[in-house]
Chains A and B, each alone.
Chain A
């Protein structure tokens, strides 16, 4: 009665097809990542579109490479990486008229806005997370506040940008005293008169806060209550136990969250484009217009052609490598620093 029977072949076919199909769908993710790196890299090395990869295309790059030593043909239409090399990263001129491109200004703008934003957002976000995990307020109110901070993450960045543009004069009025009293510092050296780097950093703070708060709150919540009880039992005050016990125990999550936020800040586009002034002139002052790699792309890509497109893809490649490294670091830090509680 209970003999071993094979399943009907139709059922096995359905099973196998389904398993294969999920594997194929899963590999779409990896293919996409590979495709993004390949495409951006290709456009940075060659001018012209992706279809010139096809051997039968009239402008095929293979023919160009085959005709490498042929004096008659022009060979390949090389793009920004062969043209500008690594000097692209240290050159601050961005001149579409002379077709001379260097990405130092946007790279500086990207790093500076992100660093400033992180410097403000980490204490604010971690402080908020502590406030939400301590018993200052009733549980219900804390959940509501936590939910409100998470909603802030859902507001589209273009809406924040529009709001920041409407608030421009208010921001400028707040910056002016810094210039008048501390104007001898190079970072406050120019008079704030319009969209500038400092405003872009402030808008980034608003965007980073929810990420840092949410991740820090989760990791603080995961610290076992015994640690806190132990600290209280030996006579520690609330803040002694927070600084010496709870934060060290949750540091992996907090640092990981900050790194995730940094990755987000580096690539944030719309709000920054609307409020940074999009100037490609290098300036030490935070109160002068500047640009980030992402804002440069959003601002110039639509009207660019030939080598400028390739230069923009080169800048995009730099941005991708930056965010990639930051995200990898975030994952490694979370794994390395994570304390294990069993």
Chain B
């Protein structure tokens, strides 16, 4: 009986008897159907549950630790409970992520333009598409090891080893495939007629791409860029061997703070979260709060941008 329930052909063997065409709630196939409905609902609940639990827990634990001093003070020395702040990590995250965006956006958008507008086919474009897919799959800690070997260990950046700039490069490697992909896909959505029209009235390829095609695709590209930046801001693994950490304010004397080890919120969560001191653990929660709120806001912004483009 139960095996028949999975086979639509077999059900024809059963005469409907007196019940005629009415729904029989006790037919095995219907019982099984309802059980599976419940199971799917259960799975969906389990899938959403972690988000709700983690978000609420972080908002509860971290929200309680947020004070004005968080933004203006430095973290306490291990064992002390004063001052309770992490202004350096907030500035550091902005510096490292901003630097990564400045490197990755031009390269990524340029690469995306090449793939979508200049060479859609051909072995070179195919090999670059392949490269984008491979790069997207490289574990983030390996981006950190790569930049460590390339930049930190060789002291190639003006003789400095660990620096905010090295951290930016590692995050840029991480953001690059996302930005190339979204640019490529965003540009492909632009109707061919726009390009034909622009070229038809005598615009050059440069003008067509920069003045007609790019503006038409700006909102999907912006969505991808915002999501890429938000993801990079929360990344820790690429930073622990590149930007390292620092309990002090950025050293403005060394390359406007870019060439010295720099604290970031994500590394601070890792470093302080595994410490046995209560004030440090509290700061880790506060940093989680700021990161989660920032990333949720960026996702809402990206959604709004996508909605904006659809209407």
Docked complex: B1-58 residues within 8 A CB-CB of A: 5-8, 11-12, 29-30, 32-33, 36-37, 39-44, 46-48, 50-52, 54-55, 57-58
A 128-171 contacts with B by CB, 8 A: 128, 130-132, 134, 136, 145, 147-152, 154-163, 165-166
Report whether B266 and A158 are in contact in the complex, using a CB–CB cutoff of 8 Å.
yes
Given A152-B51, A323-B137: A18 touches B206 (CB 8 Å cut-off): yes
Any A CB within 8 A of the CB of B259: no
- B274 at interface by CB-CB < 8 Å: yes
Residue of B nearest to A297 (CB): B141
B100-132 Cβ-contact flags toward A at 8 Å (1 or 0): 000000110011011101110000110110011
Nearest CB in chain A: distance from B170 CB, A: 11
A240 at the interface (CB under 8 A from B): yes
Which chain A residues lie closer than 8 Å to B219 at the CB level? none
What DSSP secondary structure best describes chain B's contact surface?
Answer: helix
In the complex, A3 has a CB within 8 A of chain B:
no
Residues of A within 8 A of B (CB): 7, 11-12, 14-15, 18-19, 21-30, 32-33, 35-36, 39-40, 42-43, 49-51, 123-125, 127-128, 130-132, 134, 136, 145, 147-152, 154-163, 165-166, 206, 209, 213, 231, 234-244, 260, 263, 266-270, 273-274, 294, 297-298, 301-302, 313, 316, 319-320, 323-324, 326-327, 331
Contact of B12 (CB < 8 Å), options: A235, A238, A240: A235
Contacting pair B180 A29 (CB below 8 A): yes
Q: Using known A-B contacts A154-B295, A159-B54, determine if residue A35 contacts B150 with beta carbons closer than 8 Å.
A: yes
The segment from B65-73, B190-198, B285-293 that touches chain A is B285-293
Extra contacts besides A50-B149, A319-B142 (17): CB < 8 Å? A11-B206, A22-B110, A22-B117, A23-B118, A28-B111, A32-B176, A36-B142, A39-B149, A40-B146, A43-B145, A148-B51, A156-B236, A238-B36, A240-B5, A244-B6, A297-B145, A323-B137
Smallest beta-carbon distance A230→chain B, Å: 11
Q: A29-B111, A316-B142 known; A158 and B134 CB under 8 Å?
A: no
Residues on the A chain within 8 Å of B221, using CB:
none
With a cutoff of 8 Å between Cβ atoms, the chain B residues found around residue A236 in the complex are 8
- For A241, list chain B residues within 8 Å (CB): 8
Q: Using A154-B295, A158-B269 as known contacts, say yes or no to A238 and B141 having CB atoms under 8 A apart.
A: no
Residues of the B chain whose Cβ atoms lie less than 8 Å from the Cβ of A209: 47, 50
CA distance A160 to B233 in the complex (A): 15
Q: How far is the CA of A165 from the CA of B156 in the complex (A)?
A: 38
Asked whether B236 lies within 8 Å of A49 as measured between CB atoms, the reply is no
Nearest CB in chain B: distance from A264 CB, A:
8
B47 touches A15 (CB 8 A): no
Contact status A163-B54, CB under 8 Å? yes
Instruction: Select the residue from B30, B46, B117, B231 with max chain A CB neighbours within 10 A.
Output: B46
Closest B residue, CB atoms, query A207: B50
B241 CB, nearest partner CB in chain A, Å: 6
A301 in contact with B241 (CB, 8 Å) = yes
Choice from A21, A23, A157, A323 contacting B236 with Cβ under 8 Å:
A157
Contact A151 B51 (CB under 8 A): yes
The answer to whether residues A270 and B50 also contact, given A32-B173, A323-B139 and a CB cut-off of 8 A, is no
Cβ of B153 < 8 Å from any Cβ of A? yes
Q: Contacts A50-B154, A320-B138 given: A163-B113 contact, CB under 8 Å? A: no
A166 with B57: in contact, given A157-B236, A158-B269, A209-B47 (CB under 8 Å)? yes
Report yes or no: B115 in contact with A26, Cβ–Cβ below 8 A: yes
List 25 contacting pairs A-B, 8 Å CB cutoff, sorted by A. A7-B204, A11-B206, A14-B204, A15-B205, A18-B206, A24-B110, A25-B110, A25-B111, A26-B125, A26-B180, A35-B146, A42-B149, A49-B153, A136-B41, A151-B299, A154-B298, A154-B299, A156-B233, A156-B236, A162-B284, A163-B57, A235-B8, A301-B145, A316-B145, A327-B133
